[in-house]
Amino acid sequence: MKPLIAFLFVAGQIEAFNQTDLALHAERAKAAQQQGDFRKAAGEWEAIAKLRPDVPEVYSNEGMMWHFAQDYPKAIPAFRQALRLNPKLTAPHLFLGIDYYLTSFPDKALPELRAALSLEPENALARKWLAMTFFASGDFFLAAKELSVASLQNPADSELLFWLSRSHLKLLLKSYAQIKEIAPESRFLRRLRDGGTDLRDGQSADALAELDGALKKHPSDPELWFQLGSTAKVLALKELNAFLEHSPQSYRVFQLQAEFALADGNDDLAIEQYRKAVAADPAAVQLHLGIANIQMSRHQYSKAIPEYESELHTDAYSLIALERIGEAYAELKDPTKAEAYLKRALAIDPHAFDAHRLLGKVSYERGDFKAAVEHYLEAISNTAKPPASLLFQLSKAYRKLGNTVEADRWLARFQHQLGREHEDVQQRFEQATEP
C-alpha cells in the first residue's frame, strides 16, 4: 500500500499553474490537514475544485479529507467525480469502496474495491476491505479467501487474524443452521456442538476450499456441512490463538470470545464477553450491536433499545441498529418512535428491505393500508426471494383496501411459495436420510 500522501495533489504541484489563489488554497489545505482539521482541509480542496474542475486528483483529495473527518456521505460524491475524470486512479476506488462499506452499502463497495485491486494487485489494504465487505454481504467463504491472501501480503497486520477467525466462526454458525434445517435429529449436530475433529491444522485451509466446491454441488448433505463446521472451528481457534499472541490487550480478544460463545450457544457468556470488550474500548463498533441482537432474540426489546442507541453513538451509519430499534419499538406498540427510526434507516438506504417491511407492518397496524401496501411492495422488489409471510401480509393489506383482485393474486403467490418451501424441506429431509 502506498502512503496516503502519495495520492495527494500537493501544494507544489498546484503552484505550477502560476495561480496565486490556487496555491493559497493548497497551502491552507495542507496546514489544516497537518493540524487534523480535515473539514477545513476539505473546504479548501472544494474551493480548488471550483477553480480547477478538470483535475481528478483535486476531487480525490477533497474526498479523502471528508473521509478522515468521518463525513462519508460528502466524501462519496467527491470520489465519484474523481473517477469520472480518471477511472484509473487507485485511491478514489479504494476510499469510495471503504466509504460505501462504512455507510452500509456493501453491494456498492464490492466493485470499487475490486477495481482498486485490479489497479494494484498487491494492495493489502484494498484486499482487507474487500474481505470485510464480503463478510458484511454474508459471503464468508470469499471473505476468508481474501483475508488469507491479505495476511500473506501483510503479516504484520494482526487485524487480519481477527477477521479470519470471525469469518470461520460465521461458517461454523452457518453449518449449525444448515444441519438444524436439513437433519435436526442427525448425529452431526450433536457432534459439531461437542467439538472434536481429527483434521490437522495443515490440512484445514485446503479442506475448506474443497468443501466449498462440494457444497455447491450437494448443498443438502449434512455430513458435508458437519465437515465444514469442524474445519471452520479448527481454523477459527487457530487464528484466535495467533491473534492472542499478537494483540493480547486488544478488545478484539473479548469480541472473538463472545462470538465463540455465540457459536457454542452460550448467549449469557457472549454478553459477558461483549461487555468486557466495551470496557476495553468504549468507542469500538459492533459490540453493543452484538449484545442488543441477543436481547432481541430473547424478546427483551426494552433492554435492546439502549444498546442499539449506544451502537449508533459509535457508528451513526449503522443501518442494522436503526432497523432493529424500529422493530423493537414496533413490538412495544410504539409506532411513532418505530417510524422515526425506520425513516432514518431509509435516509441511509432508500431501498432497505427490513425498513420497508417493518414500516409496512407499522402502517398496517395504524390502519394506513395504502402506505402498508407501498412499503410491502418496495420490500418485495428489493429481495430476490421475499419470505412467504410478507406475501401474505401484502395480500391482507390489499384486502383491507377492498382490492380483492390484488389480494387474491398475492394470496395465490403466497400459497404457491409456501408449497414450494414445503417441497424443498421434504426433499432435503429425504436426501439427508438416504442410506
Going residue by residue through the chain (435 aa), what tens digit of pLDDT does each one get?
A: 333 433 444 444 444 444 678 889 988 999 999 999 999 999 999 999 999 999 999 999 999 999 999 999 999 999 999 999 999 999 999 999 999 999 989 999 999 999 999 999 999 899 999 999 999 999 999 999 999 889 888 888 889 999 999 999 999 989 988 888 888 777 887 787 766 554 444 456 678 888 888 998 988 888 899 989 888 988 888 888 889 888 889 999 999 999 989 888 899 999 999 999 999 999 999 999 999 999 999 999 999 999 999 999 999 999 999 999 999 999 999 999 999 999 999 999 999 999 999 999 999 999 999 999 999 999 999 888 899 999 999 999 999 999 999 999 999 999 998 887 776 666 655 555 555
Separation between Cα atoms, residue 254 and residue 266, nearest integer Å:
14
Residue 185's Cβ-count burial label (10 Å; 0-12, 13-18, 19+) is exposed
Which triple of cell numbers denotes residue 235? Answer: 481454523
Question: Helix-strand-coil percent breakdown of the chain, rounded to 5?
Answer: 80, 0, 20
Write phi, then psi, for 289 (nearest 5 degrees).
-60, -45
Q: How many CB atoms lie within 10 A of CB 30?
A: 17
220: CB partners within 8 A, 6+ apart: 182, 427, 428, 431, 432
* Whole-Å CA distances, 35 to 29, 38, 40, 42: 10, 8, 10, 13
Which triple of cell numbers denotes residue 384? Answer: 430476490
Listed as own residue / partner, the contacts of 100-107 with beta carbons closer than 8 Å and 24 or more positions apart are 100/76, 101/129, 101/132, 101/133, 101/136, 102/72, 102/317, 103/72, 103/73, 103/76, 103/317, 103/348, 104/317, 104/318, 104/319, 104/320, 104/348, 104/349, 105/349, 106/133, 106/136, 106/137, 107/137
Which triple of cell numbers denotes residue 216? Answer: 455447491
- N-terminal to C-terminal alpha carbon distance within the chain: 53
**304, 312 Cβ separation under 8 angstroms:** no
- What's the pTM value of the predicted model, to 2 decimals? 0.81
Listed as own residue / partner, the contacts of 425-434 with beta carbons closer than 8 Å and 24 or more positions apart are 425/181, 427/220, 428/181, 428/182, 428/220, 429/182, 429/183, 431/182, 431/220, 431/221, 432/182, 432/183, 432/186, 432/220, 432/221, 432/222, 433/183
**113, 136 Cβ separation under 8 angstroms:** no
Which triple of cell numbers denotes residue 59? Answer: 476531487
Return the CA Rg of the chain: 25
Separation between Cα atoms, residue 321 and residue 12, nearest integer Å:
45
Three-state DSSP state, 433:
coil
Residue 244's Cβ-count burial label (10 Å; 0-12, 13-18, 19+) is middle
